[in-house]
A and B are shown apart, each in its own frame.
Chain A
């Protein structure tokens, strides 16, 4: 039901999710933040039932924090974070799976274009991608991204592309998702670019 997507560009990554917390035929909230900040330069957009979403994002982000604390502040690369995340999904799959699909983005000083994006599902598959979308939204957004995404895009172009995808969803998607949150990860770190409703107003 929920929408998560991400686009990489030269120097960073844009992540966006809807802000709905719904179950069955009920909508509980419209100001959720589904993009968990993992470290100073990485975040992941998570889709799934609210319980798994919160549980999984905290489990991953706290474990990555633990790594930093026990390794003298050394941070894992985005590649390592994605593989750790994938491993935890695969581990959980044989016990009690986290019903979450993830798009993880991060910025590394050493990576060729700085930003990198990883798309994961609850079964534990993980691929590095230039752009990605999870949920019903992928039916609308992937084709738009495929057409408009290009090498050497800057932040502005990437954000415009994200907004184009959101407009398409507003126009064609059956489910009402009026609020979206957009976060940008670049060399300055993670920042919230805009949101439809303030997640702090809970």
Chain B
């Protein structure tokens, strides 16, 4: 029965579903994981780099994290080829806005534009949806640092911390228990359960804490395979003293240091 409605993205099935769009979303759930965490002084995005072959020449630029403009970047989960088209759109939009208003584009405006573009591919005939989910990290004057997530259907939402890609459920549940919980609470005797209610006032981590948490989440989502510096990419966005946005992809040595800190933390937690 479902077959009849599979080939066309523009047709609803009798249950009122768009199968092609759902498959696209499903495809992303097998893609390399990306974690995004909002910090009080920045945003952190960490991604799993899938190493396909040792013979493959190393890419000169990042294949997971892309700069969109001076104050926005995105992390990709899904088909890189599809993502490139959308990233071009995002960059064009950001640049056109800056040209028209001589001011940086508000982050939500940029995200909405990309998502409208994605949505069109779920409605017009003869097209397939983009097999891409994004995490957008950005800064603007009105709302400060922001983190958004988008999927192939064209939906987007703002988050304090979220995961896209393989095992995102496991990653999200870890974030739920650990985001905004200061370390002192975590070391307490109280046993934590997954459905323990979040405290009303979430204390946002700083960028360094957020980096560690992101690595922790990736450790969990890459189940079994230990997150090593070659296999993950850590991106941070923060402001310098002059108030300019600084994008940074951590070097392998810096990433190693963060992983070592996480390992040390885990080891000492095991002692008690």
Contact = CB atoms under 8 A, between A and B. Distances in A.
Interface of A: 71-72, 74, 76-77, 79-80, 83-84, 87, 110
Contact of A83 (B102, B108, B109): B102
16 contacts: A71-B108, A71-B109, A74-B106, A76-B101, A76-B103, A77-B103, A79-B102, A79-B103, A80-B101, A80-B102, A83-B100, A83-B102, A83-B103, A84-B100, A87-B99, A87-B100
A80 B98 CA distance: 9
Contacts of A76: 101, 103
Interface residues of B, number: 10
Contacts, number: 23
Contacts of A83: 100-103
Contacts of A87: 99-100
B196 interface: no
Contact of B106 (A71, A79, A84, A110): A71
A10 to B, nearest CB: 22
Interface in B73-114: 99-103, 106, 108-109
A198 B233 CA distance: 66
Contacts of A74: 106, 142
Contacts of A72: 108
Nearest to B101: A80
B98 to A, nearest CB: 10
Contacts of B142: 74
Contacts of B102: 79-80, 83
Contacts of B108: 71-72
B190 interface: no
Nearest to B99: A87
A141 B103 CA distance: 32
A72 B143 CA distance: 13
A80 B103 contact: yes
Contacts of B101: 76, 80, 83-84
Interface string B102-143: 110010110000000000000000000000000000000110
B163 to A, nearest CB: 26
Given A80-B103, A84-B101, 16 more contacts: A71-B106, A71-B109, A72-B108, A74-B106, A74-B142, A76-B103, A77-B103, A79-B102, A80-B101, A80-B102, A83-B101, A83-B102, A83-B103, A84-B100, A87-B99, A110-B141
A106 to B, nearest CB: 13
Contacts of A79: 102-103
A47 to B, nearest CB: 24
Most buried by A among B99, B101, B103, B109: B101
Contacts of B141: 110
A112 to B, nearest CB: 14
